[in-house]
A and B are shown apart, each in its own frame.
Chain A
């Protein structure tokens, strides 16, 4: 475990000693429709500052997913403006940039070129291989020939390997991995190390326990932001708002 943790660089937050953390993502009066034309986000204004952890509670899961995609800049709003200044991750697990023709090694090399830190590529590769538990044969096999389980494991691990200012978690994307029992202690340790001092946004009720660590909550009803604030202050506007359970010291049993 100690060895794995050593692979993660301890970079300082970019805002340094400023009193107010910088804004990473800012949505101004953003509206977004689903492919059928139904508004999933309507007149939505919200900002995420460095180090803040947000969970999203929505009556419609599509609204929460649309918000995550807007924050990750995967989807452009139909109206309003989304300003993204920080180094924001893709929605974890939802990765479409992998080439099925290339091996895991080559796919990693591609991602390292785009998101890797210079001088840390080898450490990132070691971390990825340790998380995925890929031997040399699997590592150089074309990605399309890997079993689905290994593909999913690789996709999720890739997100944990690189350093971001804001991590966007879509619990639905890593649910299959949890069902398969791939998520072990080493994964949980890396996850916790990654999100330490970093901004996070996730959907309430995730099974990794990330939402439980979020101090702030957004409540969305009918695509509109009805309430936002600290969880400790109590959010009463919506039954689906998350209950803040006492933080368990036990690792999630998966």
Chain B
């Protein structure tokens, strides 16, 4: 019975992910390749800017790999979380299909983002490995684990914001701004935490995304320094956000499926 339910749930999420991916490919002028072009072009532009502006070189690892890992994980987090915040409107399209719940749509969206960003990262790693003629990922297991952990954290954060944001609209707006602006500048996309002065570091280390990105870089290059970075901190964020969101979601599913919050009075 439980196995049947799990199989059904997996089937639904898989079908939704397939549909989401198909729609994106249809919208893109370059088809499936077009999905990878956008993040790869962005990485290329940022890397070119670094070269042109002669920003202090990161000596710990390949600069392209360093830039890509930061960018890909940040955008994975950002896109999943933002999609989770605006997820209810999308799921409204499935009102006729009672088997599909809003949570399924959010998970399917996250799966597609993981696929796109994972493929993007894979191609860059492959290109750098071929260029340097050596395997550039020292600990692939940890790298994959951290990549998925960040996806889970983003889903938890996004879903928590969606549920709390239904009650307090301001939360939704604040989280949206924080994810798009504040995290962009404090997540280590443009700096390494080891190069930051000691008095600045504590202000940056509150950000779980910084921990995730730096740990990911460390998994690729074990000599990459990560002072103050902790895996436990990321795990606590992942389990706390996902746990809270699942708990709150269970009690608020009907509210989330409605067009407008119901007036209980």
Q: What are the residues of chain B within 8 A of A113 when measuring CB–CB?
A: 11-12, 14-16, 18
Interchain CB contact (< 8 A) of B23 among A74, A76, A94, A101: A101
Interchain CB contact (< 8 A) of B96 among A76, A90, A116, A118: A90
B18 touches A74 (CB 8 A): no
B169 at the interface (CB under 8 A from A): no
Known pairs A101-B27, A114-B15; A106 contacts B95 (CB<8 A): no
Annotate A93-133 by CB proximity to B: 1 below 8 A, 0 otherwise.
Answer: 01111010110001001111111101000000000000000
B54 at the interface (CB under 8 A from A): no
B99 touches A84 (CB 8 A): no
Known pairs A102-B22, A106-B19, A106-B22; A73 contacts B12 (CB<8 A): no
Q: What are the residues of chain A within 8 A of B95 when measuring CB–CB?
A: 74, 96
Interface residues of B in 5-37 (CB under 8 A from A): 7, 11-12, 14-16, 18-19, 22-23, 26-27
Interchain CB contact (< 8 A) of A91 among B7, B15, B93, B96: B96
Q: What are the residues of chain B within 8 A of A111 when measuring CB–CB?
A: 15
Task: Report the Cα distance A76→B18, complex, angstroms.
Answer: 28
B62 at the interface (CB under 8 A from A): no
B15 touches A76 (CB 8 A): no
B18 touches A110 (CB 8 A): yes
Q: Which residue of A lies closest to B24 (CB)?
A: A101
A97 touches B18 (CB 8 A): no
Q: Give chain A's interface residue range (CB within 8 Å of chain B).
A: 20 to 34
Known pairs A102-B26, A109-B18, A110-B19; A97 contacts B94 (CB<8 A): yes
**New A-B contacts (19) at CB < 8 Å, excluding given A109-B18, A142-B26:** A72-B96, A74-B95, A74-B96, A76-B257, A76-B258, A90-B97, A90-B98, A94-B96, A96-B93, A96-B94, A96-B96, A97-B96, A99-B19, A101-B22, A101-B26, A102-B26, A110-B16, A114-B15, A118-B11
30 pairs from A and B in contact (CB 8 Å cutoff):
A72-B96, A72-B98, A74-B98, A76-B257, A76-B258, A88-B98, A90-B97, A90-B98, A94-B96, A96-B96, A97-B96, A97-B97, A99-B22, A101-B22, A101-B23, A101-B26, A101-B27, A102-B22, A106-B19, A109-B15, A109-B18, A110-B15, A110-B16, A110-B18, A112-B15, A113-B12, A114-B100, A115-B97, A116-B11, A118-B7
Number of A-B contacts (CB under 8 A): 66
- How many Å from the CB of A33 to the closest CB on chain B? 13
Task: Report the Cα distance A108→B35, complex, angstroms.
Answer: 23
Interchain CB contact (< 8 A) of A76 among B7, B97, B254: B254
A114 touches B99 (CB 8 A): yes
Annotate A41-60 by CB proximity to B: 1 below 8 A, 0 otherwise.
Answer: 00000000000000000000
Q: What are the residues of chain A within 8 A of B11 when measuring CB–CB?
A: 113-114, 116, 118
- How many Å from the CB of B234 to the closest CB on chain A? 32
B99 touches A115 (CB 8 A): yes
B98 touches A102 (CB 8 A): no
Q: Which residue of A lies closest to B19 (CB)?
A: A110
- How many Å from the CB of A48 to the closest CB on chain B? 15
Interface residues of A in 172-191 (CB under 8 A from B): none
B97 touches A114 (CB 8 A): yes
Known pairs A113-B14, A118-B7; A102 contacts B257 (CB<8 A): no
Q: Counting chain B CB atoms within 10 Å of each CB, which of A76, A110, A142 scores highest?
A: A110
Q: What are the residues of chain A within 8 A of B99 when measuring CB–CB?
A: 114-115
A73 touches B19 (CB 8 A): no
Q: What are the residues of chain A within 8 A of B97 when measuring CB–CB?
A: 90, 97, 114-115
Task: Report the Cα distance A111→B16, complex, angstroms.
Answer: 9
- How many Å from the CB of A222 to the closest CB on chain B? 25
Q: What are the residues of chain B within 8 A of A94 when measuring CB–CB?
A: 96
Q: What are the residues of chain B within 8 A of A84 when measuring CB–CB?
A: 98
A97 touches B254 (CB 8 A): no
Q: What are the residues of chain B within 8 A of A109 when measuring CB–CB?
A: 15, 18
- How many Å from the CB of A165 to the closest CB on chain B? 12
